[in-house]
Amino acid sequence: MPEPDAALIVVDVQNDFCPGGALAVTDGDAVVPVLNDWIRRFAAAGRPVVYTQDWHPEDHCSFKEQGGIWPVHCVQGSPGADFHKDLVVQGAVFRKAFARDKEGYSGFDGRLSGEGDLTAQPDLASWLRARGVRKVYVGGLATDYCVRATVLDAVRHGFQAVLIRSGSRAVNVSPGDEEKAVADMQAAGAAVIG
């Protein structure tokens, strides 16, 4: 049972990060059944489940064509930006890195998805605080980028943070990036389970 002040953050479980996607993470889709169990447990306990969604314009600065390091991925409204078809999605969605000239790996850079201008929408930290959340469980894709950044930001914003390791997979641009990311999160004060 999740604690009464806990929330679950599901990071970027999107087609482009799964096998066959533009920036596929090895075994990325393996997180889906694991996270679905967590999602169902939080939902059953009435605790918030939030989803982050990488949400880039087609000329985003992180893309190689623009001098960045990544292939084109998670373009706003494209199938690659959709959540994996088997992911249980019931909860608020926070979109991030939606401005052309700004990268944002952390879910805490995101804004609640809704009508109109995203920058006018609530951010994740205020949304969680308004619901009495003090502890966040975080899993998804990718451990060494958006999951790491979200966990570190959670701690920075004063939340207790727990990495769900079994529900996360890494890009591993360099071998060992995953272990390094986990060590960074632990050093910042996050707990690791799974």
CB of 147 to ligand VGL, least distance (A): 7
When the beta carbons of 54 and 109 are compared against Zn ion, the nearer one is 54
Span interacting with ligand VGL, options 113-121, 129-137, 141-149, 184-192, rule CB under 6 A:
141-149
Residue pair 13/81 in contact (Cβ under 8 Å)? The answer is: no
* Residues contacting 100, CB < 8 A, separation 6+: 57, 59, 60, 61
Torsion of CA 130, 132, 134, 140, to 10 degrees: -70
54 near ligand VGL (CB under 6 A): yes
Residue position matching structure tokens 């990071």: 11
Can you tell me which of 42, 63, 70, 159 binds ligand VGL, judged by CB under 6 A? 70
Would residue 146 show up in a list of annotated catalytic residues for this protein? yes
CA angle 123, 192, 137 (to 5 degrees): 30
Q: What residues numbered 110-139 form the site for ligand VGL, per CB under 6 A? A: none
Residue position matching structure tokens 């806990």: 6
Can you tell me which of 51, 127, 137, 145 binds ligand VGL, judged by CB under 6 A? 145
- Site of interaction with Zn ion (CB under 5 A): 54
